[in-house]
Chain A
Amino acid sequence: KAGVTQTPRYLIKTRGQQVTLSCSPISGHRSVSWYQQTPGQGLQFLFEYFSETQRNKGNFPGRFSGRQFSNSRSEMNVSTLELGDSALYLCASSSSATGDRSGYTFGSGTRLTVV
């Protein structure tokens, strides 16, 4: 079956702009999580959605937001982009309501470059 699909794969944006990233989970997976990966900070948790509800959120400013649709697809939005937002953004999905027992399947990520 198809894996986790993230689009687009690459993005270049200018400071001050906003961006929307998309994630389609594995069919039947209702939990979708987002992570930011940078060389300096490593992998950091952004937020998690389950059945269209945000259940958990990491320590990121309000410029970072997300949502989940009824078909479990998720989007994350970053407004007023800063140079420090340049990163690989990874999405993960899980079949479990808690996720910890079944593990998470990650997408290939979206590489965002802010110039």
Chain B
Amino acid sequence: AQSVTQLDSHVSVSEGTPVLLRCNYSSSYSPSLFWYVQHPNKGLQLLLKYTSAATLVKGINGFEAEFKKSETSFHLTKPSAHMSDAAEYFCVVSGTDSWGKLQFGAGTQVVVTP
């Protein structure tokens, strides 16, 4: 069985400051991990994915995440927030032969203030 916990339901940052979204996962085997972003009334866009290669993963729009097996974490960061980063972010885990079944976290709503 696998699960994912997003530790913050809401994060508020000022434009130009760093963003940190925290995610812990639970999996009985080596998982694949993803971060998706959802802007209002839109579908989900893949930011980045970890699939057992490099532990530091770079994604789109300046986001990156680090896979830490010892801490079972996959936190998402960005050095400098932009107004357009305001959205909901989902940490997602998938296992081998999951056959389409992604396990989503509850989501973190990011607010960016000027």
Residues of A within 8 A of B (CB): 4, 6, 31-33, 35, 42-43, 45, 47-50, 55-56, 58, 90, 92, 94, 98-101, 103-109, 111
Contacts and interface: CB of A to CB of B under 8 A. Distances in A.
Q: Which of A92, A94, A100, A107 has the most CB of B within 10 A?
A: A100
Interface residues of B, number: 25
Contacts of A101: 32, 51
A27 B36 CA distance: 22
Given A100-B31, A100-B98, 14 more contacts: A4-B43, A42-B106, A43-B90, A47-B100, A48-B99, A98-B97, A99-B99, A99-B100, A100-B95, A106-B36, A107-B43, A108-B42, A109-B43, A111-B41
A48 B42 contact: no
Nearest to A33: B100
Nearest to B94: A100
Interface of B: 31-32, 34, 36, 41-46, 49, 51, 90, 94-102, 104, 106-107
Contacts of B97: 98
A26 to B, nearest CB: 12
Given A103-B49, A106-B45, A109-B43, A55 B104 contact: no
Contacts of B100: 31-33, 45, 47-50, 55-56, 92, 94, 99, 104
Q: Which of B49, B96, B100 has the most CB of A within 10 A?
A: B100
Nearest to A55: B99
A35 B32 CA distance: 19
A43 to B, nearest CB: 4
Contact of B34 (A6, A45, A103, A111): A103
A98 B107 contact: no
A9 B16 CA distance: 35
